[in-house]
């Protein structure tokens, strides 16, 4: 394959060899020195990649093969001397600032850090997930080593008590619903006496000041294991799913609203 090789420093002219018929054979061009000056670089077409590699030379004047041999032997050229760029005329000459250390005034002591920090994270900002099931005893979760589905009457209360002891006061519930209660439309999701509503009542009765979050979703209650209602041809029925989710949300809102009313009554009784 023919290659094009630049010869920027040399002043050459192109001469084409011809055969007896006056035609130039493919890839037979060569270069010879030119006597007169040439203002721009020219390119030489060679007949093979090997000839191209041999024609290319490093800035030092050596061939690529010679440079590669030095590199394999560990002989590398010395780096070019550093030349500091010249500043514009009129730039004042001053002594560079002596700053061996970064200014860390705002981080020097706990008191300064507390005064200037913008974000404070404490256990009160955390939300602890609680995996619950209908059983009495805690059950290990195979896909999550070290995590357990808490028995909603015993292990659950112990876990919340220990979390509150270290300052965590917010919890989110993830239920494991028995397969017998699951259905293609997830009707158990808005059962007012289901696992999640009963757990909320238990927690709020035992710890009235905790914050409880719930997961409005159909997948724990769907026999298909999907977060939506699945048609027989595999299509997800979005609008019908949203309708079921709204019913689930309303059921949980009614429950939380009742406890909010109780809190207002307690607050009013305390003030008056």
CATH number at residue 234: 3.20.20.70
Around Cβ 209, how many Cβ atoms within 10 Å? Answer: 8
- Rg value, the chain, Cα: 40
**In whole angstroms, what is the distance from residue 236 CA to residue 243 CA?**
13
**In whole angstroms, what is the distance from residue 216 CA to residue 247 CA?**
10
Structure tokens at 228: 């939506």
Full domain range(s) for residue 152: 125-265
Residues 6+ apart with CB under 8 A from 7: 31, 41, 42, 43, 44
Residue 109 lies in a domain: no
Q: Is the pTM above the cut of 0.75? A: no
Q: What is the pLDDT along the chain (272 residues), one digit of tens a residue?
A: 444 444 444 433 433 434 444 444 444 444 444 444 554 544 445 445 555 555 556 566 778 888 888 888 888 888 888 887 877 787 677 777 776 766 666 677 888 878 877 888 899 999 999 999 998 888 999 999 989 999 976 789 999 999 999 999 999 999 999 999 999 999 999 999 999 999 999 998 899 899 999 999 999 999 988 889 998 888 889 999 999 999 999 888 887 766 555 454 455 455 44
H/E segment holding residue 195: helix 195-206
Residues 6+ apart with CB under 8 A from 57: 63, 64
Structure tokens at 139: 């059950």
The tally of domains found in the chain comes to: 1
Residue 270 lies in a domain: no
**In whole angstroms, what is the distance from residue 123 CA to residue 171 CA?**
12
Residue 175 lies in a domain: yes
């Amino acid at each position: 394959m023919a290659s094009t090789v630049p010869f920027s420093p040399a002043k050459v002219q192109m001469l084409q060899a011809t055969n007896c018929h006056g035609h130039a054979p493919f890839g037979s061009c060569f270069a010879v020195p030119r006597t007169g000056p040439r203002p721009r670089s020219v390119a030489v077409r060679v007949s093979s990649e090997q000839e191209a590699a041999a024609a290319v030379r490093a800035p030092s004047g050596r061939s690529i093969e010679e440079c590669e041999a030095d590199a394999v032997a560990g002989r590398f050229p010395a780096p070019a001397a550093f030349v500091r760029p010249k500043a514009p005329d009129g730039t004042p000459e001053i002594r560079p600032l002596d700053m061996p250390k970064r200014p860390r005034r705002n981080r020097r002591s706990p008191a300064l850090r507390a005064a200037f920090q913008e974000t404070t994270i404490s256990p009160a900002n955390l939300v602890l997930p609680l995996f619950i099931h209908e059983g009495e005893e805690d059950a290990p979760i195979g896909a999550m080593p070290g995590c357990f589905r808490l028995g909603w009457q015993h292990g659950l209360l112990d876990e919340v008590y220990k979390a509150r002891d270290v300052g965590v006061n917010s919890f989110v519930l993830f239920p494991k619903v028995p397969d017998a209660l699951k259905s293609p439309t997830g009707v158990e999701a808005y059962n007012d006496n289901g696992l999640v509503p009963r757990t909320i009542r238990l927690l709020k009765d035992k710890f009235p000041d905790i914050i409880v979050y719930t997961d409005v979703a159909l997948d724990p209650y769907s026999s298909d294991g999907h977060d939506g209602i699945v048609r027989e041809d595999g299509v997800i029925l979005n609008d019908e799913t949203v309708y079921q989710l709204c019913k689930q949300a309303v059921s949980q809102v009614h429950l939380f609203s009742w406890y909010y009313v109780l809190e207002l009554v307690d607050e009013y009784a305390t003030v008056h």
